[in-house]
Amino acid sequence: MKPIKKTPLVTAIIPTFNRGWCLAEAVTSVINQKYPAMEIIVVDDGSTDNTLKLLEPYMDSITLLHQENKGVSAARNLGIKHSTGDFLAFLDSDDLWTPDKTACQVDFFQHHSRAMICQTEEIWIRKGKRVNPKFKHKKPSGMIFEPSLKLCLVSPSAVMMRRDFFEIKGYFDETLPACEDYDLWLRTATDMPIYLVDQPCTIKHGGHGDQLSSSHSLDKYRIQSIEGLLKTHALTPSQQRAAVAVLRKKYLIYGQGCIKRGKLDEGQHCFERETALAKRYPH
């Protein structure tokens, strides 16, 4: 692991697609960080709204990258490849950072030399009102593989990682149109602790229609992620048992949903995969 400079450079990567209505506030929240050494990369994923016009006043403070519309994974990966920071952090364009977010996480890394990745607590805003996350969304800290199987417990806007992280764990999976963060954090958690900085430094907005997380059938992509992990044979016996148990449940839940929506063949296929999985990994 490379030694950390006294004031390490932090790269903030903001992927965006047609988010002119909220992007300026997100960028401003990074510019307003109390931490002195910041590189800000905005990746425009083929926007057709007023995004480029809106960013003109910020050009002295940001690096703007463009790509044709390939999705959030490709946008984040492009930002990673162009970054120069000792630490990297992401901010979704509809979320915000509190002014002490960067300083808080760098301080954590300075005091935990073996840590590779951490996330902060969040303030949740839904349709303009603050709400309390449900118990199932409570963020654990450390080795979090098993609790992360059921749903994503790490927020892209809340994480920061050392630059070496991506050499070890790879990038976001660009074949996944959703749950790409679930996939990366699950791959991470197999053998790497993901720490929680118990301070709410990320403001997470929800309830608007263009959120990927608001789309239906997200379990389809979580299934794909768990299937991929099982194929790698990288799991411990206990992790494998937990992954198989969750995957079987997701097959049944997603299959039942397909049947209700009239996708009979897809639903039946899920039931068949659940049966095959049970035979392959008997208790």
Nearest to 66 by CA among 80, 47, 86, 89: 47
Residue 187 domain flag: yes
Residue 58 domain flag: yes
The CA distance from 236 to 217, in Å, is: 28
The CA distance from 164 to 170, in Å, is: 10
pLDDT, tens digit, 9 for 90 and up, residues 209-231: 555 544 457 899 999 999 999 99
In a shared domain, residues 113 and 245: no
Nearest to 139 by CA among 157, 125, 165, 114: 157
Tokens of 97: 């950072």
> Residue 207: what pLDDT?
62
pLDDT, tens digit, 9 for 90 and up, residues 141-195: 999 999 999 989 999 999 999 999 999 999 999 999 999 999 999 999 999 999 9
Mean pLDDT of the chain: 92
In a shared domain, residues 118 and 250: no
For residue 251, the enclosing domain spans 219-280
In a shared domain, residues 89 and 74: yes
Residue 261 domain flag: yes
In a shared domain, residues 124 and 239: no
Percent of the chain with pLDDT over 70: 94
> Residue 206: what pLDDT?
76
The CA distance from 133 to 148, in Å, is: 16
In a shared domain, residues 207 and 224: no
Residue 3 domain flag: no
> Residue 216: what pLDDT?
53
Residue 102 domain flag: yes
> Residue 214: what pLDDT?
45
Tokens of 40: 């800000």
If one counts the domains in the chain, the total is: 2
Low-confidence ranges of the chain (pLDDT < 70): 1-5, 207-216
